[in-house]
Chains A and B, each alone.
Chain A
Amino acid sequence: MDSTSKRKVILKIEKISKYFGSVVALNNASFEVYENEIIGLVGDNGAGKSTLLKILSGNFPPDKGEIYFEGRKVDFKSPVEARQMGIETVYQDLSLCENLDAISNLFIGREVYKNFLGFKVLQKREMESETLEVVNEIGIDIPSVKERIEFLSGGERQAISLSRFVAWGKKLALLDEPTAALGVKQTRKALDLITKIRKQRNIAIIVVSHNLQQIFKIVDRIIVLRHGEVVGIKEKQSTDPDEIVSLITGAIFINDNK
């Protein structure tokens, strides 16, 4: 990916800072994301990854700094504003309703309905067939799309959370630990899916993960956060897991052994 400079910037964040009381969660973070690229966002616990994602998804605003999406300055007041612009988030906590089935969960806030005497009547069959399509595309088996989430395993739950990205991801997707609850085989499927969706839709994706092996499998560039600061932006080809680890931990990179 040596041609990044020629590609269109879809997201640009400039000197973003966020404080929680006296804790500096993000400090002057700046980077750009290009169209159709996969970014790996890495860092130790408390480095500011989730804070950054929550700012981008509209869950809370930054205290300082600016965000540009598709060239325009944006100022999200709620997640729904970010989503309307085409930013889809898969939350680390999965944001599932355990009391409802997969169909309902996929369509939260986006229910398909028809107006009938002033009532918004749900179109359940339509939503069911769309859900089946998406679940098939993911390739992770769940017992039934009509099963309540509370009866599903951790991996199945994560698959349903990912199905939102498959169904709704448009311009930019933010995936927070998208494979944390998946088994080895499921993880491989999920990673394949992420790269496939990217190819199909020309979508940019930011993946937060602790698993560097996974990150190296699918991403184009890696952004490293430490103590709320961007300490490295690396092309995948020009770095390796050792360097990334040393950036994450702040250890001095010693190349003597090699």
Chain B
Amino acid sequence: MREGPKARKVLVEQRTTRIFRLISDNMIWFILLSSIVVFSLTVPGFFGARNFRNIIHHSVFIGLLAIAESYCLISGNFDLSIESVAGMGAILSAWLCGASVFASGLYVNPFVGLLIVTVIGAAVGFINGFFILRFKINPFLVTFSTYIIIRGLAVFLTGGRGVSRLPGSFRLVDTIKFLTLPLMVYIMLIFFMFFYFVLEKTRFGRHTFVIGGNINAAYNFGINVNRHLFRIFVLSGALSGFTGWLMAARAGGATPAMARGFLFETLAAVVIGGVSITGGFGSLTGVLAGVLLLSSMRSALNILAISPFITEVIRGLLVLAAIVLNSVKRTVGRK
């Protein structure tokens, strides 16, 4: 009987922690929604179907790269080459399929082009995985090297010049619209759902979290760690190459500088979305919210014609706030 009140107190404490955790786990969605409300009320022209369409359309590339980077980070790894691989995917597919002066003149079918750049992206992921896993070199260093190499190759391909005049069939993914949104938006959303399912509901996803949480435990209990991480690097490369193809489709052409700056944008979105840089934590729902938040912020600041330099400062502060928030979240309730 003496334990009655104490037990009740424990129960109340548990309930408050649970509520706290429910809020903090979905904090990013609250922040996203409240930012949209604030921007809608204070920024003229922000609220409206057309601008919202733009925001989600703008989110496609960073969204897809963020999926790739989330898998890498959750497994305790890094892939800095995503940006270059996307840029390479854009210029290479434009070069293969385009009709302007600096194109290859091969007039490759756009969907064959899609296949080619995805496979080449996967090959870059394979090379990353090979050096990281076989030679046990730090993923940061390996993917930093491929980041530079691939960007260099992309510039070399066309001598630094852009390629345009892509066939209409290449652009279908952007010109076909359902409910006024281009097909590529749906592709991104389907990819998010699919990779969410894999991460949360399948053995592959669980092993990703196990490896990111304690790589020795993963080995001790029979998970084939190297094979698993290989697959993640290959996935990351393939997704990045595919993203590049989409970028070319959207722009109707490509320049070797495409996707420049996307790495930091992606990392920012992923971190804001709650993925831990040190591995083991994160969810794709949070990442999607992070991507949309950055995209809506960019839109609001654009409309207000605020200096892009200040935009960078604000984005940096947001990343810092997200990191602080996540570390606070993790220390609360810890014994």
Q: Which residues of A contact B (CB under 8 A)?
A: 57, 59, 78-80, 83, 89, 91, 93, 95-100, 104, 108-111, 113, 119-122, 143, 150-153
Query: What 7 pairs across the A-B complex have the smallest Cβ distances?
Result: A80-B222, A97-B213, A109-B221, A99-B280, A99-B213, A120-B203, A95-B217
Complex CA–CA separation, A55 to B209 (angstroms): 27
Ordered by A's residue number, 20 sampled pairs between the chains whose C-beta atoms are within 8 Å are A79-B221, A80-B221, A80-B222, A91-B220, A95-B216, A95-B220, A96-B214, A99-B280, A104-B209, A108-B223, A109-B222, A110-B221, A111-B203, A111-B206, A113-B203, A119-B201, A121-B201, A121-B202, A122-B203, A151-B335
Residues of B within 8 A of A89 (CB): 220
Cα–Cα, bound, A204→B149 (Å): 57
Contacting B209 at CB < 8 Å: which of A83, A99, A143? A99
Q: Could you tell me if A151 and B334 are in contact, using CB atoms closer than 8 angstroms?
A: yes
- State A187–B223 Cα separation when bound (angstroms): 31
Shortest C-beta distance, A81 to chain B (Å), equals 9
Interface: B36 (CB within 8 A): no
A108 lies within 8 A of B202 (CB): no
Q: How far is the CA of A89 from the CA of B202 in the complex (A)?
A: 26
Q: Does B204 contact A (CB under 8 A)?
A: yes
What's the Cα separation between A153 and B220 when bound, in Å? 23
Cβ of A201 to closest chain B Cβ, rounded Å: 20
Chain B: number of interface residues, binned into ranges:
20 to 34
State whether B213 touches A79 (Cβ < 8 A): no
The yes or no answer to B218 lying at the interface (CB within 8 A) is: yes
Q: Which applies to chain B's interface (DSSP): helix, strand, loop or mixed?
A: helix
Q: A97-B213, A99-B212, A122-B206 are in contact. Are A108 and B218 (CB under 8 A)?
A: yes
- Tell me if B222 and A152 are in contact (CB < 8 A): no
Cα A150 to Cα B327 in complex, Å, equals 13
Report yes or no: B216 in contact with A150, Cβ–Cβ below 8 A.
no
Does A113 lie within 8 Å of B210, measured CB to CB?
A: no
Chain A residues in 8 Å Cβ range of B280: 97-100
* Closest chain B CB from A170 CB (angstroms): 15
**B330 at interface, CB cutoff 8 A:** yes
The distance in angstroms between the C-alpha atoms of A119 and B199, with both chains bound, is 11
Interface string of B19-48 (1 = CB under 8 A from A): 000000000000000000000000000000
Task: Contact check, B223 vs A109: say whether CB atoms are below 8 A apart.
Answer: yes
- Within the assembled complex, what's the spacing in Å between the Cα atoms of A119 and B203? 8
Q: Are B202 and A100 in contact (CB under 8 A)?
A: no
User: Bound complex: CA of A99 vs CA of B198, how far in Å?
Assistant: 18
Asked if B281 CB lies within 8 Å of chain A CBs, one says yes
Query: Are A108 and B210 in contact (CB-based, < 8 A)?
Result: yes
Determine the residue in chain A with the shortest Cβ distance to B330.
Answer: A150
In this complex, what residue of B is CB-closest to A79?
B220
How far does the Cβ of B266 sit from chain A's closest Cβ, in whole Å? 22
Once the chains bind, are A79 and B219 in contact (CB under 8 Å)? yes
Q: Point out the residue from A79, A97, A99, A119 that lies within 8 Å of B202, measured CB to CB.
A: A119
Contact A97 B217 (CB under 8 A): yes
Residues of A within 8 Å of B334, CB to CB, are: 150-151
Chain A residues with CB under 8 Å of B4's CB are none
- Judge whether A78 and B222 touch: CB under 8 Å: yes
Q: Are B223 and A120 in contact (CB under 8 A)?
A: no
Which of B201, B216, B281 neighbours the largest number of chain A CB atoms within 10 Å of its CB?
Answer: B201
| Chain A contacts for B214, CB-based, 8 A | 95-98
